[in-house]
Amino acid sequence: HDAGEDGVLAGLDPDQRAAAEVPGGPLLIVAGPGTGKTRTVTHRIAHLVLERDVPARQCLAITFTRRAAEEMTERLHALVGAKARDITVATFHSLGLAVLRERHARLELPADFGVADAAEQHRVLTEVAGDERAARRLRSAISRARRGGAQDGSGETDTPDADVADTVPRYLAALRERGLVDYDDLLALPVELLESDADAREEYRRRFQWITVDEYQDVDDLQYRLLRLLAPGEANLTAIGDPDQAIYAFRGADVRFFLRFQQDYPQAPVVQLTRNYRSGRHILAGALKAIRPGTLVADRQLHPTRDDSAQRITLHRAADERAEAAFVARTIDRLLGGTSLHSLDSGRVQGDGDGRIGFSDIAVLYRTDAQSRALLEELGRCGFPAQKRSHDPLTARSGVEHILRELTHTSAASAPGETPVVERVRAAAGAILASLPDGRREERAAELRTAVELLTPLAHRCGTDLARFCQEVLLGAEVDALDPRADAVSLLTLHAAKGLEFPVVFVTGCEDTLLPLRWPGTEPDEAALAEERRLCFVGMTRAQDHLYLTHAAKRTRRGEARETRPSPFLTEVRELSEAVTTESAPPRPRRRAQQLSLL
């Protein structure tokens, strides 16, 4: 069928439509930041189902995060209606888990096998390796080896292959004895199954005849092998992404799989999305200048479609991290209109905001989690609400694993579906505290409060479905628990900010040795430097209206204050920016003696 001018594709721009209406076979879509990537692929799937008679049950859409999967599911339901229930939308790991549930007997797993959290993995590995120190030394090396030998970017010497090769089979055997799989098994075992079982391979190929993969530049070796098993050379595989946003080499992603797509699928057309609907023209021009020396996209173009935002990029030089944090807080105050209680009380700014920006419109980004400390302290001192997230697994945050374990232990004693998950989470935290000796309660209370705050948005979304909640926590990252409805400033690592957008963005710590990240006195290798440049590009293109790039003349790292130099990535954007300098943090305002009138 022809979609026609009034069809599903009617609202797409020419590039989006050209991608969405490709009839079948392999397709590569190069989608720059803010170009409507999700809109394009969801409309393409809707077009196939509604206007080309593709059965919805044959459609599989794979994303990298639970948040992206939820967004895609919501959009498909809006476009397709009831048929959307038959479309499979999954992350790689949730897809792998589904395969394991279906084929557990073939893989000699019990029907009720569990997924080991980080603490359980560590306990098993400690038992196998003989002591905790050896377990810590081996854990990341084992995971890298099982994912295809990815580098972790730490610069440390890899654990000898012989140690890993000797430990892996004993570690996996110990997991299986407990009826467990680990996070890497969720991909390794489905790949093993499909490589060794032709019948299973053909069944899944028949089931999923139309496959869409989001963020294809982020696939690792196991994910790539899984896709090749599901989608041979002439399959209906749509891959969409942007190699200039490939920033996850530390967890095994390899941008070369994106770059070789046309070798793997020689008949695949390539469509570029180049119209940016997100960022003001100066922000976009600056981001393009920053990425151009290392771009992986031939003829890299991004055309601004907005004419309502011409704010220049602000480059800010601060004396140190405390002054940098003070600049961030002062600028937020100004953008809000200087109407916070703190501003009125201190007279620190004259209100000149337009009232359209709220706390939830603001993101403060940084390269390393340690940078958040000064920022959180200053925002807290100013009375500004904040939510801090990283790209680390949810179970890596202190307290989360304990709550999850308490939920697992208590769930058998209560009837399923009766109690909201959010109430169970709070009750679990309370039970943990009550079981502790008096001397440890105060110490653990703050940790558990933070864990509950982190889990609450996800708990609300899961309603009364505790099993879903536990699975989401095991498979999710901290940033998946970001609450977009919270009236709070978002503090995010640059990696966690991927896929998000905000009217106001601060990229802090734009210094040599931080962005690009390297140890002082060392030079990053060429590949690492190229990825750091892409990370800067990702950070800049999160901004819609206001972009601030800040750096400090001196920064304390690991207890030592060091002189710093501006990031080399700033060189390309200076002509599109205006510079601001503060040599020291402003004095902390003294409160006036009289109280503000409530009126």
Interval 283-292 mean pLDDT: 95
Class of domain 281-392+486-582: alpha beta
Strands (E), 319-453: 362-366, 386-389
Half-sphere exposure in the Cβ direction for 391 (13 Å, CA): 18
Rounded Cα distance between 209 and 205, Å, is 6
Question: How many other C-beta atoms can be found within 10 angstroms of the C-beta atom of residue 458?
Answer: 23
Rounded Cα distance between 84 and 429, Å, is 37
Residues 6+ apart with CB under 8 A from 153: 249, 250, 528
Work out the burial of residue 533: count CB atoms within 10 Å of its CB; fewer than 13 is exposed, 13-18 middle, 19 or more buried. buried
Mean model confidence pLDDT for the chain: 87
Place of tokens 């939920």: 407
Does residue 333 carry a pLDDT above 90? yes
User: What residues does each domain of the chain span?
Assistant: 8-98+188-273, 117-177, 281-392+486-582, 394-475
Interval 222-251 mean pLDDT: 95
- 348 pLDDT tier (thresholds 50, 70, 90): very low
Angle of helix 372-381 relative to helix 321-335, nearest 10 degrees? 50
Rounded Cα distance between 212 and 549, Å, is 35
Residues 6+ apart with CB under 8 A from 3: 9, 10, 21, 47, 51
Question: How many other C-beta atoms can be found within 10 angstroms of the C-beta atom of residue 281?
Answer: 18
Half-sphere exposure in the Cβ direction for 328 (13 Å, CA): 37
Distance of CA 274 to the CA centre of its chain: 23
Per-residue CA distances from 286 to 292, 297, 305, 312, 383 (Å): 10, 17, 16, 9, 32
| Beta-sheet pairing, 180-181 with 114-115 | parallel
The yes-or-no answer to whether 8-98+188-273 and 281-392+486-582 have a common fold is yes
Does residue 5 carry a pLDDT above 60? no
More confidently predicted of 8 and 413: 8
Does residue 341 carry a pLDDT above 70? no
The pLDDT > 90 percentage for the chain reads: 62
Tell me how many degrees the CA angle 411-413-416 measures, rounded to the nearest 5. Answer: 55
Backbone angles phi, psi at 563, to 5 degrees: -65, 145
Interval 423-446 mean pLDDT: 85
Rounded Cα distance between 251 and 284, Å, is 28
User: What pLDDT sits at residue 555?
Assistant: 93
- 394 pLDDT tier (thresholds 50, 70, 90): confident
- 584 pLDDT tier (thresholds 50, 70, 90): low
Question: How many other C-beta atoms can be found within 10 angstroms of the C-beta atom of residue 299?
Answer: 7
Per-residue CA distances from 485 to 44, 358, 493 (Å): 29, 11, 20
pLDDT digits (tens, 9 = 90+) for 554-573: 998 888 888 999 999 999 88
* Secondary-structure percent of the chain, ordered helix, strand, coil, rounded to 5: 50, 15, 35
Interval 496-503 mean pLDDT: 95
Residues 6+ apart with CB under 8 A from 545: 280, 309, 311, 503, 504
The pLDDT > 70 percentage for the chain reads: 89
**532 touches 512 (CB < 8 A):** no
Tell me how many degrees the CA angle 187-191-194 measures, rounded to the nearest 5. Answer: 140
More confidently predicted of 124 and 117: 124
Q: Determine the straight-line distance between the first and last CA of the chain, rounded to whole angstroms.
A: 65
Rounded Cα distance between 250 and 218, Å, is 11
DSSP string for 128-154: HHSSHHHHHHHHHHHHHHHHTS---SS
More confidently predicted of 222 and 418: 222
Backbone angles phi, psi at 91, to 5 degrees: -80, 165
- Residue at 574: amino acid letter: R
Rounded Cα distance between 26 and 236, Å, is 5
| Beta-sheet pairing, 554-557 with 560-563 | antiparallel
Rounded Cα distance between 242 and 273, Å, is 10
Residues 6+ apart with CB under 8 A from 117: 395, 401, 404, 405, 474
- 6 pLDDT tier (thresholds 50, 70, 90): low
pLDDT digits (tens, 9 = 90+) for 440-466: 777 788 888 889 988 998 898 888 988
Does residue 140 carry a pLDDT above 70? yes
As given in the structure block, the two tokens for residue 412 are 């058998």
Q: Which one of 1.10.3720.10, 3.30.950.10, 3.40.50.300, 3.10.105.10 gives the CATH number of domain 8-98+188-273?
A: 3.40.50.300
pLDDT digits (tens, 9 = 90+) for 89-104: 999 999 999 999 999 9
Does residue 216 carry a pLDDT above 70? yes
